Structure formats: C-alpha cells, structure tokens
Chain A
C-alpha cells in the first residue's frame, strides 16, 4: 500500500459530474466581457470529462 495521502477537501457536497463548480471559476475569472454562457458551457464539459476520468478508476 502506498504512503498515506489523506487530504482535506477543497469542496463539499458537489453534485455528480462536477470537479470544480463553474460558480467558483466564475468568481476567479472576474469580469467576463462576452457571453458567459459560452465560457460556462465549455468549462462544464471539460470538468465533466475530468470527473468521468476519476470515477472510471472506481467503477470497475
């Protein structure tokens, strides 16, 4: 067994499909000069891909 790597979570109670919520990222981005929905949509798609990669190692 590898060394202990238990760490504190950054987020709590996130819904499935989410690693870093858009709401958090939007705060970090600050002012968005164009359509925020376009940016949000792409963020969430790639975030969901990361989620699926992580759970892929568990669901087997």
Chain B
C-alpha cells in the first residue's frame, strides 16, 4: 500500500471507528450507502454492473477517485445476474434481460415456503432449503437429480465462490490504491426477516401470525443460531467493522407494536447480543420508520449497534438512543433525487447542528442511494460535511 493511501485509510478508519464508539473524531464521518448511483457515475448501464462482475467492481474505482468518503458499502450490485441465470433464480428480475438495460432490479416476492413446510423447516432448515426451497426458487433445479439440476448446483456454488473471491480482491485494491474503508464486513438478518422476506413473503407471514403463531415462534427459535453463525461466518474473523443488518418487516406499521414485541424483537435482540458478546457490532439498518420501538432498542448493550435512521423520527432517536449508540443517516433520498444542492446543504448542516455535536454520528442518506440520485446532491452532502462537520 502506498504511504499516502495507507495514511488516508488510517485517517478514515480512525474517524469512522471513533464515531461508532461514541467518541468525537476530527470530523463527522461520511459513509454513503451507494448502489446503482455508482454505475451511473462510472458510465456503466445497470445491465453491465448486474451482469459483469469486473465492471461492478471497477465502478467503485471511479467513485473512490472522485469522492472523499470515509466508508463505502462495496460494489453497487450485491447480485450477480449471470449467476441468477445459471440457477434460474426467479425472485429477482434484472436489467438487460426482463427489464430495460437501465432499470433497477425488481424483487418478485412469492411464498416459496408453504404453510405445510413449517415442520420440516423446524426439524432441519438446511436440508429443507436444499430439498424443497431451492427447487422452487431455482428453475434449473425444478427436477432434482436431473442433468440441469445437478449443473445448477455446480454453477451456483462455483459462482458464489467466484463472486466472493473477486470481492475480496477488490477490497484489498480499494484499501491499497484509494484508501477505501469498508462500512461493514459481514451480513446477517433478523430471524423474522429471514422467515418473512424470501421464505414466506409478506402475505404468508401475515396470515401465519394469526393462523399458526406457534409455528412462527418455533421457526424463529430455530433461526437464531443459524443467523448468528451466518453473520460470524461472513465476517471471516474481521471484528473492527460492523455487521450489516438490513431490517425490513420490523418497520412500523408492517407489524403492530404488540406483534413486534411478540414476534420480531425477541429473536433479533438475541442475535445482536450474541454478535456483541463475540465483539461484533451491528449496523442496525432500520429501513422505514422504527420510532415506536426506540425504547426497546435502547435495551441493547451500549455501543452494540449503529442505529441507522431512515424514516424514524430523528429527534426521538437522538433523545432515546443518543449517547448509547452511534446514529447515522437521515438525508432523504427523495431530496437527493429531486432536490437542489442548497436544500441538501441545509439539511446536512441541520443534522450536524442538532445531532452530531457530542460525536457518535455518521452522515449518510436515509436509504440506499440508487440511480435516481443527482451527482451534485451527492457532492453537496460530502462537501457540507467536510466544511461544516469539523469538531
């Protein structure tokens, strides 16, 4: 690593870690959760970044050349569309195949787990995933044991290893050549989201809460150790940076507060506490509005999470969680897409004035920044934070 890039990496890392530890760094750190915006900035179509891993990675090189960011979330597309085609995955639609070359990917939700699957899932979820879930999710695996099905398993596993290998190499390059610091180094989910996102889907889980609540609870109990294991395995032993946990169905009002307390929170709390006991902090990426649940979230061990504010009431988050957890986010994505740079500047200034004074604050957009964000607004966030966010 060149000396100047090493110095830059260390400065950014120190700033980022200090905020997460509730300290006052030299400046308010800027961590932007950038996805499809990065492709647009680099001049790639969305089809190119979804299908071509090298272009997906290369787009970050340009981002890091042009923008001064303390932490980045990695290559813009989490998903490799070519791998999805290889297994015939039905749950995502990609630019350039089902969609126009510059259309954001779309999630096609179905109940890939049926109500009658609960017992087999609870007994051995891993075996159930292979024997029942994947043949439903992957068109190529729809006749298990067939030539096409066997090939899809080979291609899928090889593809995962290829993608992860390339990402690992890319992170080393981003650090060495650009001073790029990771916003997180692992991933896991709330057990309820694991069950309610890809398995039962929103319609399925909502019916289950009324028709088979005990099965739901038993499944959540089974998921707890798996989600802990998954998070620690994806960390690869790295413990300084947080684990990314995108939180979905716990947003108000998907569940009412009684359901949230009964079904969502107990298993999530156990998972986060387990990570913290092993030394891994969670980036609690609270998509949507979590205001009614802030008092419960405050029960988590101090510093064990970074609470990310999307549509949660920022003042309430600061009042209830401030001084206990680092807060991040809240620059509205709508403003980044349709607002003017002056509006963005004013918003970022206000965030810094009202919420960053004591430290423990990271500037970010409210949600993942997609292709609709205007470049001048992204620059406005960074420039304002750099000019105005000096302690």
- Mask, B122-165, CB within 8 Å of A = 1, is 01101111111111111100101000000000001100110000
A39 interface hit (Cβ, 8 Å): no
**A9-B120, A53-B157, A53-B160 known; A58+B128 contact, CB < 8 A:** no
- Size of chain A's interface in residues, with CB distance under 8 A? 32
Q: Are B233 and A58 in contact (CB under 8 A)?
A: no
Q: Does B333 contact A (CB under 8 A)?
A: no
Interface size (B, Cβ < 8 Å)?
46
Number of A-B pairs whose CB atoms are under 8 Å?
Answer: 95
A5-B135 CB under 8 A given contacts A11-B127, A58-B194: yes
Instruction: Please classify the interface of chain B as helix (H, G, I), strand (E, B), loop, or mixed, using the class held by over half of its residues.
Output: helix
Interface centre among A1, A3, A19, A58 (most CB of B within 10 A): A58
* A-contacting 9-mer, from B66-74, B221-229, B356-364: B221-229
Task: Give residues 10-56 of A contacting B (CB, 8 Å).
Answer: 10-19, 48-56
Question: Smallest distance from the beta carbon of A46 to chain B beta carbons, Å?
Answer: 10
Contact, CB under 8 Å: A16 / B225? yes
List B contacts of A51 (CB < 8 A). Answer: 126
Query: What is the distance, in angstroms, from B237's C-beta to the closest C-beta of chain A?
Result: 14
Closest to B127 in A: A9
Among residues of B, the one whose C-beta sits closest to the C-beta of A12 is B123
B230 touches A59 (CB 8 A): yes
Instruction: Verify if B187 is at the interface (C-beta below 8 Å from A).
Output: yes
Binding site for B on A (CB under 8 A): 1-19, 48-60
Q: Which residues of B contact A (CB under 8 A)?
A: 78, 89, 110-112, 114, 116-117, 120, 123-124, 126-139, 142, 144, 156-157, 160-161, 187-189, 194, 197-199, 225-230, 233-234
* 19 additional contacts (CB under 8 A) given A3-B142, A11-B127, A12-B124: A1-B110, A1-B112, A5-B131, A5-B136, A5-B144, A6-B116, A9-B120, A9-B127, A14-B127, A16-B225, A17-B229, A19-B130, A48-B233, A55-B129, A57-B89, A58-B199, A59-B189, A59-B230, A60-B78
